[in-house]
Amino acid sequence: MNPILLDCDTGVDDAAAIAYALGLEADLVACTTVAGNIHIDLTTGNTLKVLSLLGAEDVPVFRGASRPLVQPFQDASHVHGGNGLGGAEIGEALAAESDLTAPEAIIAYAEEFDGELTLVATGPLTNIAIALSLRPGIAQQVRKLVLMGGSFFNPGNVTPYAEFNIWADPDAATQVFAADWNEILAIGLDVTHQVAITKKMWELIPDDAEGAVGMMKAISERTFVTRVRSGFFLHDPLAMAVALDESLVTLTPYAVDVVVDGEERGRTVVSDGGNVLVATAVDATGFLQRFCAALGIPYIDDVDGISAAE
């Protein structure tokens, strides 16, 4: 199993992605944090807390960029709650963040695991763009980059045109999509909007559940109760799942251009002939079954509930 470095802005679905990786005993060698869903202080603290709750406090965490390259910082706390974890309190961090900055750590791990490292990005791509600016050669040292971002053939989730991670730092995304990666996979809303924990599944989790499944019960409560949604989308867990098994999705090569400003800021525009492997279809049932098994969530075939998720 290849070593994985997760670059994240730990809100609710990043936390679920960490839990999924650990549930499958993936070789998670480090986490780097970035401002996105919430402020960098919270994304860093949440990452440490999630790892500690799941018994993985030995995984080092490196603090990254506190704002986008050019755009002003705007969070998604309206989705993730004020603390980024849907308001859930999941315990204290049992370890401190490490000394290196996130871009430095990305460079260091790319060199240490030359040709072997899988880089998974579930937040804005600021840290990775900075790392590329410092050391362009990491694109060839990283085995593959799997990012959750973009909406290539469907509407966005922050504007009619854009998915949040790309919209949050479109200048960074432009640099990352243009780099000469060995392999780059883009897991966008086209497929992540097909995978969700439904309210019926959530209700089957006992209120006194502990560990990963207890965390999922707590951090998704706001989605179902306060926001009155029928589904908790598994955007970031799907990106992690594809990093571990590409067969879960259909991948089609495209060139990807990003609109960096104006009304369509963050829009991901595809054209033929590029090297970005864009996910265009997903084995939703297969993934959901794996995700639920890894975390201990009761799985039911609730297609209507998933399709109704907002």
How far apart CA 307 and CA 310 sit, in angstroms, is: 8
- Pairing relation of β-strands 249-258 and 268-282? antiparallel
- Is the distance from CB of 286 to CB of 303 less than 8 angstroms? no
Identity of residue 7: D
H helix or E strand, kind and range, residue 278: strand 268-282
What are the b/e assignments for 238-263, b being 16+ CB within 10 Å?
bbbbbbbebebbebeebebbbbbeee
User: Does residue 80 have an active-site annotation?
Assistant: no
- Euclidean distance between CA atoms 60 and 109, whole angstroms: 12
Write down the catalytic residue from 39, 78, 193, 235.
235
**Among residues 13, 115, 123, 18, which one has the least CA distance to residue 63?**
123
- Distance CA(111)–CA(9), nearest Å, equals 23
| Of 67, 13, 16, nearest in space to 214 by CA | 16
Q: Which residues are paired to 119 by β-bridges?
A: 5, 145
Residue 67 to residue 43: CA distance in whole angstroms: 12
Instruction: Give me the active site residues, please.
Output: 235
